[in-house]
């Protein structure tokens, strides 16, 4: 989904939990979503779309940019993330948390949540790569739910809805984001997991 499409969708007043997080409950054992936190970009009667924000893949933003012949000035170790199981090899989405690329507004950039901007992948990444900041997240693939699917999963207690926060999106420690998100929701995840915290 492009920033313009997302803006048009919001203009209809149809989104429900988006923008917001959903954090997987410990009993969710689907390997695509186990111990994940998803930033919902859209949620309405047609379904939902989001990005897993805490699952780095073995690829850096620098490597991604070089493969696309994009000049990159940022940290060498900034990871790329797996946004979800849909189109994971071919679909790139880019978020950033710095000053807007288009202060006067643009259909190529939209503020998803306070301090979190979605940009058109190629053009936005080119501009952000030259800025060199660390508040940049590139996602390969996304997460999607059909009409009514996420509502059923929420009713089953599979997910905990939470308010969106740039703190979690741009956390330098993504491995702890799931635990921290659930604790913010009033849940100690390790009281619900046999054997307690992971080693």
Break the chain into its structural domains and give their ranges.
Answer: 3-188
Half-sphere exposure of 7 (CA within 13 A, CB side): 14
**pLDDT at 179 > cutoff 70:** yes
Q: What is the pLDDT of residue 87?
A: 81
Residue in this structure with the two tokens 């679909």, named with its chain if needed? 91
What's the pTM value of the predicted model, to 2 decimals? 0.88
The Cα–Cα gap between 124 and 143 comes to 21
Q: Is the pLDDT of residue 148 over 90?
A: yes
Using left for φ > 0, alpha for ψ between -120 and 50, and beta otherwise, residue 73 falls in: alpha
Pick the CATH number of 3-188 from 2.60.120.260, 3.30.2010.20, 3.40.1740.10, 3.30.1490.100: 3.40.1740.10
| CA dist list (Å): 2 to 108, 138, 144, 151 | 7, 14, 15, 24
183 SS3 class: helix
- Could you give the angle at the alpha carbon of 112 between the alpha carbons of 126 and 115, nearest 5°? 75
CA 6 to chain centre: 14
- Given a cut of 50, whether residue 141 has pLDDT beyond it is yes
pLDDT in tens, 35-83: 999 999 999 999 999 999 999 999 999 999 999 999 999 998 899 999 9
Give the model confidence (pLDDT) of 71-111 as tens digits. Answer: 999 998 899 999 999 987 778 999 999 999 988 878 889 99
Does residue 195 carry a pLDDT above 60? no
């Amino acid at each position: 989904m492009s920033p313009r499409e997302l803006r048009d969708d919001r203009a209809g007043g149809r989104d429900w939990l988006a923008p917001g997080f959903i954090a997987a409950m410990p009993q969710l054992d689907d390997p695509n979503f186990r111990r994940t936190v998803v930033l919902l970009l859209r949620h309405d009667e047609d379904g939902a779309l989001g990005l897993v924000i805490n699952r780095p893949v073995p690829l850096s933003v620098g490597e991604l940019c070089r493969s696309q012949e994009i000049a990159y000035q940022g940290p060498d170790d900034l990871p790329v993330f797996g946004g979800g199981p849909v189109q994971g090899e071919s679909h790139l989405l880019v978020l950033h948390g710095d000053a807007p690329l288009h202060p006067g507004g643009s259909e190529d950039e939209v503020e998803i949540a306070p301090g979190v901007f979605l940009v058109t992948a190629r053009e936005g990444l080119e501009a952000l790569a030259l800025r060199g900041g660390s508040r940049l997240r590139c996602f390969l693939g996304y997460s999607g739910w059909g009409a009514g699917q996420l509502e059923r999963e929420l009713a089953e207690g599979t997910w905990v809805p939470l308010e969106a926060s740039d703190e979690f999106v741009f956390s330098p420690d993504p491995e702890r984001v799931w635990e921290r998100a659930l604790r913010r929701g009033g849940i100690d995840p390790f009281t619900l997991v046999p054997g307690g915290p992971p080693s």
